[in-house]
Chain A
Amino acid sequence: MGTFLRAITDGVLEGGVYGLMAVGLTLIFGVLDIINIAQGIMVVLGAYLSYVLWTHLHIDVFVGLLITIPAMFILGVAIQYLFIRPLRGRERTSMSLLASYAVAIITEGILYQTFGSNYLSMSTYWTSPSAEFHVFGYYLPYIYVLGFALAVLFVVAIYFMLYRTQFGRSVRATMQDHTAARLVGIDVNRVAAVTFGIGVAVTAAGGMVYGELYAFNPNTGYDLISRLLAIVILGGMGSIGGALAGSVLVITLASLVDVYWNPEWSTVVFYGALVLVLVFRPQGLFGRREARAQ
């Protein structure tokens, strides 16, 4: 029973961490119709920023989010302005793949030049042996629980922004029809820039948690983006809650396979679940069929 519960809690909490990283990707896709291949390296950049603040300025990684989130937001706006906005016409979506890939390559190069190729890891209070909750005889590390809480917080905040604010209405209008939104006076370019900025800003939090859990180097982004894309497709492209739920579901499944079958097969199950969902529910677990049919 203990092993089963451990596998479940592992899956749920780690799923939350991946969900946190995937939320920005699905937001950008949902609003801008863009697959931001650079999202993986942005997560890694977020991890490096937290690392620098913690190592050189001794700023706690959670407090550091007050700096890294705005910084990543500005970076996201700049990327959208410089690389995404100039793309026009029917090939915009496919060209955006190339543009965001270029951003990923440039960022990776800068990180290599700045930090080298060695893996870095953070040994902060949050990953120390004593940083854990003791609940009903189980030990849950703070960082896993807080990572999950951050994921839920961001999902709720983005939902609130989308459905309870004027800007959110503009975003939803833009999601439905760019041209019509422009006709009714919405500054579509501004909406796009801010949304891209928010999508990238979220990676600051995802990157911080990722950096706390994992050793990373500039090359780490590639594996990340393949997993994040799988999660986003599984949850339903453009579905904010779907990203979190899909992530929790598939990582929990992989965690159970890890414990009860064979660790090597957990990766296969991760992607196998994606294939099954695509075959039987092409719009993803929480995506809308009509959205996929547009």
Chain B
Amino acid sequence: MRRPRAITLRLAAVTAASAAVTAACGITHAGTSGLAAGPTGTPITIGISEPLSGPNSAQGFAADGQACLKGYELWASDVNSHGGLLGHPVKLIVMNDRGWPASTIYDYNWLIKHDHVDLVLAPFSSLLTKFAAPTTQKLGYALVAGSAGAPSVFTLGAADHNLFSTTIPVAQELMPFAKWIAGVRGHPLTAAYPMVSDPFADPPVTTAKNYLGTHGIKALLYPGVNGYTKVSNAALTADAKMVVKRNPGIVVLGSVAVPTVELFMHVFALNGYTPKYFIATSGPDQGQAFLNQVGTGNAVGMMVPNGWYGGYANALSHVMVQDYIARYGGTASTINGDVAESYSAGQVIAAAVRATGGTNQAQIIAWLHRPTTSVQTVVGKVAFGPKGDNTLAGQTASVFQWQTPTGGGAPQFVEVLRGNGAVQTTPVTKAPLTKS
């Protein structure tokens, strides 16, 4: 009587395996082959650990880890095709940490103690960088990161001295918006700050709320007072209704994905409430996925903070984009921001090596900490504070808004504040969303 069970299990296992094989199709190789021919001689070795694959797609980091690796490879290829670093070719030694923090520690220990790499670059994510930094610090290495902006990265104590992050600190993401709106003549005097409990959603909202508070904009709803929302439809709907009831002129939503934004928009539309300005920390930046979810008409007016993008007006970025397209194909708009972030980390370490004339870690760290040091990168000029945060990140941070183009047509995702677009107020003629 047990055979049917065995067959069922076998079938389930084969199905799971087939799904895994299918999922893997189309994945590109993540090695370091194919680098452009460069200078010969002893290479400068650079150790990197990235979440490239693993359980749960390496913590959900695999796609970003692979994008980061592309950025590093592209940077190394560009360096080698331009004479190398101090005349030496650059060689990347890449390990896969599978998204395991303990493996990140293990990998950097291994890269430095066993492989004796000359330099190290950080993995994708604040989470993994947080584990890598104490290890590299203990071994005296500078760690330049491109994709580590969570507040926890800048509270590592001694390890912060050796860590240098080119990305925009998460807490500062909404500051361009906050500064802009504080300067708008006749700006709304009230705002609401609903947010989900998330390390990437709360800090920017809180920073913006504090800033706007000092500029006369009263907080009508802030979870610090009203309690954090839970990520459930019922709880979020209750918060959205509370926002409607208090009728603020500005809504700053700490969201992590499209559904949260969609739910708030839905409740707002159902109740005939339209904030004059509505910005969410995440969701509207998801392009077509966002439009599909909320409807093209409803998307108009939504704002979201963003950093680097394919059309970023920066000469170095433009060159990198062209190199990327030549190497990997696609278009500028399809390039993952992680590529530019890791590329910028490579540029920073290269600048430090050139400036100090070698790979002496103490000299590199001292040079990067020098108040006069700044490096031009694909994400803009970067300089580092005492905790390794990018003090010039405000130059890269920007705000995007979904706008209807002149003459009508499908909404476009326009860079405002820093770009050519002007911020539009949210249109009031919104229909309730069909999905919620």
Q: Which residues of B contact A189 (CB under 8 A)?
A: none
B interface bracket (residues with beta carbon within 8 Å of A): 35 or more
Does B237 reach chain A (CB closer than 8 Å)? no
Asked if B114 and A139 sit within 8 Å, CB to CB, the answer is yes
Does B41 reach chain A (CB closer than 8 Å)? no
Asked if A282 and B110 sit within 8 Å, CB to CB, the answer is no
Does B5 reach chain A (CB closer than 8 Å)? yes
Scoring A residues 142 to 155 as 1 if CB is less than 8 Å from chain B, else 0, what string do you get? 01100000000000
- Kindly list 4 other residue pairs between chains A and B, CB separation below 8 angstroms, not including A266-B54, A267-B20, A267-B53: A129-B134, A213-B100, A262-B31, A266-B53
Does B17 reach chain A (CB closer than 8 Å)? yes
Task: Pick out which of these stretches binds chain B: A62-70, A190-198, A219-227, A241-249.
Answer: A219-227
Q: Which residues of B contact A268 (CB under 8 A)?
A: 20-21, 24
A214–B28 Cα distance when bound, in Å, is 25
Scoring B residues 157 to 200 as 1 if CB is less than 8 Å from chain A, else 0, what string do you get? 00000000000000000000000000000000000000001110
**What residues of chain A have their CB less than 8 Å away from a CB belonging to chain B?**
2, 6, 33, 35, 90, 93-94, 116-119, 121, 123, 127-130, 132, 137-139, 141, 143-144, 212-215, 220, 223-224, 226-227, 229-230, 233, 237, 258, 262-268, 270-272, 274-275, 278, 282, 292-294
Asked if A271 and B20 sit within 8 Å, CB to CB, the answer is yes
A-B pairs, 10 with minimum CB distance: A271-B17, A263-B52, A223-B56, A264-B27, A213-B102, A263-B96, A129-B135, A263-B53, A271-B20, A268-B24
A137/B114 contact (C-beta < 8 A), A129-B135, A264-B30, A271-B17 known: yes
The residue that A282 contacts in the complex, of B10, B99, B115, with Cβ under 8 A, is B10
The residue that A119 contacts in the complex, of B13, B59, B105, B230, with Cβ under 8 A, is B59
Asked if A267 and B101 sit within 8 Å, CB to CB, the answer is no
Asked if A267 and B6 sit within 8 Å, CB to CB, the answer is no
Scoring B residues 90 to 105 as 1 if CB is less than 8 Å from chain A, else 0, what string do you get? 0000001001111101
**What residues of chain B have their CB less than 8 Å away from a CB belonging to chain A?**
1-3, 5-6, 9-10, 12-14, 16-17, 20-21, 23-24, 27-31, 52-56, 59, 62, 66, 96, 99-103, 105-106, 108-110, 113-115, 127, 131, 134-135, 138-139, 197-199, 230-231
The residue that A265 contacts in the complex, of B12, B24, B197, with Cβ under 8 A, is B24
Shortest Cβ distance from residue B280 to the other chain A in the assembled complex, whole angstroms: 18
Give B5's nearest chain A residue, CB to CB.
A93
A264/B24 contact (C-beta < 8 A), A229-B13, A230-B13, A258-B53 known: yes
Q: Which residues of A contact B12 (CB under 8 A)?
A: 229
Shortest Cβ distance from residue B73 to the other chain A in the assembled complex, whole angstroms: 14
Q: Which residues of B contact A6 (CB under 8 A)?
A: 110, 114
The residue that A223 contacts in the complex, of B1, B23, B55, B103, with Cβ under 8 A, is B55
A116–B232 Cα distance when bound, in Å, is 11
Asked if B6 and A292 sit within 8 Å, CB to CB, the answer is yes
A258–B134 Cα distance when bound, in Å, is 26
The residue that B17 contacts in the complex, of A121, A262, A275, with Cβ under 8 A, is A275
A141–B135 Cα distance when bound, in Å, is 12
Q: Which residues of A contact B24 (CB under 8 A)?
A: 264-265, 267-268
Shortest Cβ distance from residue A90 to the other chain B in the assembled complex, whole angstroms: 8
The residue that A274 contacts in the complex, of B5, B17, B114, B127, with Cβ under 8 A, is B17
Most buried by A among B12, B29, B110, B230: B110
Q: Which residues of A contact B103 (CB under 8 A)?
A: 213
- Can you report 22 residue pairs joining A to B where beta carbons are below 8 Å apart? A6-B110, A35-B9, A117-B197, A119-B127, A123-B131, A128-B105, A129-B108, A141-B106, A214-B55, A214-B59, A220-B56, A227-B55, A230-B16, A258-B53, A258-B96, A263-B53, A263-B96, A264-B52, A266-B54, A271-B20, A274-B17, A292-B2
Shortest Cβ distance from residue B264 to the other chain A in the assembled complex, whole angstroms: 18
Shortest Cβ distance from residue B334 to the other chain A in the assembled complex, whole angstroms: 19
Shortest Cβ distance from residue A130 to the other chain B in the assembled complex, whole angstroms: 7
Asked if A139 and B109 sit within 8 Å, CB to CB, the answer is yes
Give A132's nearest chain B residue, CB to CB.
B109
Asked if B114 and A144 sit within 8 Å, CB to CB, the answer is no
Shortest Cβ distance from residue B88 to the other chain A in the assembled complex, whole angstroms: 22
Q: Which residues of A contact B2 (CB under 8 A)?
A: 33, 292-294
A215–B53 Cα distance when bound, in Å, is 15
Give A273's nearest chain B residue, CB to CB.
B17
Shortest Cβ distance from residue B159 to the other chain A in the assembled complex, whole angstroms: 10
Asked if A293 and B59 sit within 8 Å, CB to CB, the answer is no
Q: Which residues of A contact B28 (CB under 8 A)?
A: 264
Shortest Cβ distance from residue B236 to the other chain A in the assembled complex, whole angstroms: 13
Shortest Cβ distance from residue A293 to the other chain B in the assembled complex, whole angstroms: 7
Asked if A129 and B109 sit within 8 Å, CB to CB, the answer is yes
A139–B110 Cα distance when bound, in Å, is 7
